[in-house]
Structure 1
Amino acid sequence: MTNWGILGCGKIAGKFANDLLLTEGVNLYAVASRDKEKAANFGNTYKAIKSYGSYEEMAQDPDIDIVYIATPHMFHKENTLLCLSNNKAVLCEKAFAMNLEEVEEMIAFAKAKTIFLMEALWTHFLPHYKFVLDKVASGTLGEIQSLKADFGFNSPFDTTSRLYNKSLGGGSLLDVGIYPVFAALSLLGYTEDIEAKATLGPTGVDHNCSMHLRYAQNVEVQLFSAIDEETPTRCHIVLEKGEIIINSRFHEPSSVTLTENCVTETLEFSTPKDVNGYHYEILHCQEMLALRKTESDVMTFSKSKELIMMLDKIRAQIGLSY
């Protein structure tokens, strides 16, 4: 039985905690928030054995094996280094950190300590997404000709909201734009040939961001993210001999519409009852820990570095700095 700790008690942490409870071989041992009452309420809701009103206290608990970090982006490096320095394996939410320099520091520290560290980009482990990656890699549909992916939702402008707070790493790009960028990276690889433009709001964060990526063989890639408008949140891949649509919302458990040999069918990928889908990356972390791995063989350090490099390039294009 692996003892998990959760650092940060927000909305995503709740979904993750729900799935921990429904995953075999794991135990939600402790939760932590800067607000002791919030930690206690969260712990009671998800049946944690301990709750802490201090990140430092939880990191020092000798009975915790691995910590899931679900704090705002701006604190990921600080929180990750705290847990690693206390010999805790770490699964840290995306975006891994604020820039390449921070990501490299986190990875270097984990390597020096020989402790497992991974970016929690859960999409990579979902069955429907793995199916798409395998289908494209098989070559039966030929090469990718174009890719279009978006992720947008409408959150009313509120200066007190994390999404619009620059000091917390707010904006559409790091919060949801990372998913379309990851789709391009995982399906086509890394590119520095990026053009981007964005609408920056009164608080200095991007309310929406349009991205145009270029690859060899003139592959067209159009990406979009927004926190001020609802979008289909789909990923549409056109190949030489067919097409694949990852239906809404493509980054979470969804269906896939496949056109092959002039036949179109929609494939459903259901998850177990009451599970959000985070259990797939939880099980992967369990496997990595059992094998005494210090790096994921799926969400590798090089993949996390390439992802943040692309995000850094886009931020430079749109004039967004933190």
Structure 2
Amino acid sequence: MKEYKWATLGCGVIANQLAEAMEKRGKKLYSVANRTHEKAVSFAEKYGIEKVYNRIDDVFEDENVDIIYISTPHNTHIEYLRKALAAGKHVLCEKSITLNIEELREAMEIAKENNVILAEAMTIFHMPIYKELKNIIDSGKLGKLNLIQMNFGSYKEYDMNNRFFSRNLAGGAMLDIGVYALSFIRWFMTSKPDQILSQVRYAPTGVDEQAGILLKNKEEEMATVMLSLHSKQPKRGTISFDKGYVELYEYPRGQEAVITYTESGEKETIKAGNTSDALLYEVEDMEKTVSGNENLMYPEYTEDVMDIMTQIRREWGMKYPEEE
């Protein structure tokens, strides 16, 4: 497989994990772009990256760059996606990939026109535990899927200047943590939910601080989601079938699941992959997809999830400044 040159746009927590994932493969990022040049220089020095751009736009014009990983705030993604994809770069973009479904479909069209791969960096689609569970479920061992229950609650300090609560930085529970719960649901559900009910509690800034969601698809599979940015909950997913149920904790980067069989009560523990290698799995699947050998990025699931999130926010009447 070709040796791909990766650039990072952004040098925060995720970019550091990306650089560490590259090092695990015995490789390095090729270049770094960032709004604050000094931070980019420090990041490059830390990881031995050979190229730092003076302007962010220079990364799109660099003919040596194959793949760009975008990890800037949600509401800046579409601006960079337009430029990167139009320049013929493959893009792996941090979740949530865009603010809404219209932005995503625009980006997908640009990617199609330029024959490049656009993908969301959604860990759930790449952690080995999910691929292992999919094989078990597809075997029919657990029977028919009936119900999925999702929890994700963080306790963020009640600081309205924090990015989690900021409308100007596309804060709120849906785009920050809801995207994980809904991606989990979409991974296991037979088809996209087409019946959706929800409730929301707002933070003083007007972003969604807490939300409850009910979903059902045409196969009559159902799901519940409880989200909060100011009330700690376990990151737990439970998938219930006719013949048993599956529990995963810390599911955004899960590595272990427990199956409880309905008839006997017997428990079986399934282990696959390592939480610490989450970015490594994403990088490897992206390169395999770019090479044309396999399609491992699931853009159809990304589109379904973004459509659901957009529908829910519109029912709430909640908009970000860019959408007004």
Counterparts of 2:90 and 2:219 in 1: how far apart (Å)? Answer: 41
Hey, what does 2:303 align to over in structure 1?
305
Q: Which runs of 4+ in 1 moved over 6 A?
A: none
C-alpha displacement of 1:32:
1.1
What TM-score do you get using the length of structure 2 for normalisation?
A: 0.92
The aligned residue for residue 144 of structure 1 is 145
Structure-2 residue corresponding to 1:267: 270
Structure 1 residue matching 2:200: 3-state secondary structure: strand
Contact 1:152 1:230 in 2 (8 A): yes
Q: How many corresponding residue pairs?
A: 315
Q: Which runs of 5+ in 1 are unaligned?
A: none
Q: CA deviation at 1:101?
A: 0.8
Residue aligning to 1:190? 192
Give 1:280 shift: 0.9
Greater alpha carbon shift after TM alignment, 137-146 vs 51-60: 51-60
**2-structure distance, mates of 1:98, 1:200:** 18
Moved more, 195-204 or 40-49: 40-49
Code of the aligned partner of 2:310: D
Between the aligned partners of 1:87 and 1:65, the Cα distance in structure 2 is 8
Contact 2:132/2:272 (<8 A) preserved: no
Mean CA deviation greater in 73-82 or 251-260: 251-260
Residue 276 of structure 1 and its aligned partner are, at CA, apart by: 3.3
Asked if structure 1 preserves the Cα contact closer than 8 Å seen for 2:285 and 2:297, the reply is: no
Question: How far off is 1:131 after superposition?
Answer: 1.5
Partner of 1:49: 50
Return the alpha-carbon distance in structure 2 between the equivalents of residues 54 and 209 of structure 1: 39
- The 1:2–1:151 alpha-carbon spacing in structure 2 relative to 1, beyond 3 Å, is same
| In 2: Cα distance, 1:43 partner to 1:302 partner | 34
Contact 2:153 2:232 in 1 (8 A): yes
Query: What letter matches 2:267 in structure 1?
Result: T
TM-score by length of 1: 0.92
Equivalents in 2 of 1:150, 1:283: separation in Å? 29
1:64 shift after superposition? 1.2
Matched ranges for 1:1-322 at <5 A? 1-23=3-25, 26-188=27-189, 189-216=191-218, 218-247=220-249, 249-260=250-261, 262=264, 263-271=266-274, 275-291=276-292, 297-322=295-320
Shift of residue 129, structure 1, vs aligned partner? 1.4
Q: CA deviation at 1:229?
A: 1.5
Q: Report the CA distance between 1:46 and its aligned residue.
A: 2.2
- Give identity over the alignment, percent: 27
Deviation at 1:66, TM superposition (A): 0.6
Shift of 1:53: 4.4
Q: Which moved more, 1:32-41 or 1:129-138?
A: 129-138
Answer yes or no: is the 8 Å Cα contact 1:5–1:29 preserved in 2: yes
Amino acid of the structure 2 residue aligned with 1:47: G
Q: Secondary structure at the match of 1:2?
A: coil
Secondary structure of the residue that 1:278 maps to in structure 2?
helix
Go from structure 1 to structure 2 and tell me whether the alpha carbon gap of 1:270 and 1:289 turns closer, same or farther (over 3 Å shift): closer
Q: CA deviation at 1:300?
A: 3.1
- Verify the 8 A CA contact 1:211 1:222 in the aligned structure 2: yes
Q: Where does the alignment leave 5 or more consecutive residues of structure 2 unmatched? A: none
Amino acid aligned to 2:29: L
Q: What letter matches 1:68 in structure 2?
A: Y
Shift of 1:89: 1.1
Tell whether the 8 Å contact from 2:286 to 2:296 is kept in structure 1 after alignment.
no
**Residue identity in the other structure for 1:271:** N
C-alpha contact (below 8 Å) 1:39/1:53 kept by paired residues: no
Aligned-CA RMSD value: 1.8
Counterpart AA for 1:312: T
Equivalent residue of 1:191, what SS? coil
State the one-letter code of the partner of 2:47: Y
> How far apart in 1 are the matches of 2:316 and 2:140?
35
Q: Quote how far apart the aligned CAs of 1:113 are.
A: 0.9
Go from structure 1 to structure 2 and tell me whether the alpha carbon gap of 1:286 and 1:270 turns closer, same or farther (over 3 Å shift).
closer
Alpha-carbon distance in structure 2 between the residues aligned to 1:155 and 1:13: 22
Measured in 2, the distance between the counterparts of 1:270 and 1:243 equals 21
Give the secondary structure class of the aligned counterpart of 1:267: strand
SS of 2:296's partner is coil
- SS of corresponding position for 1:185: helix
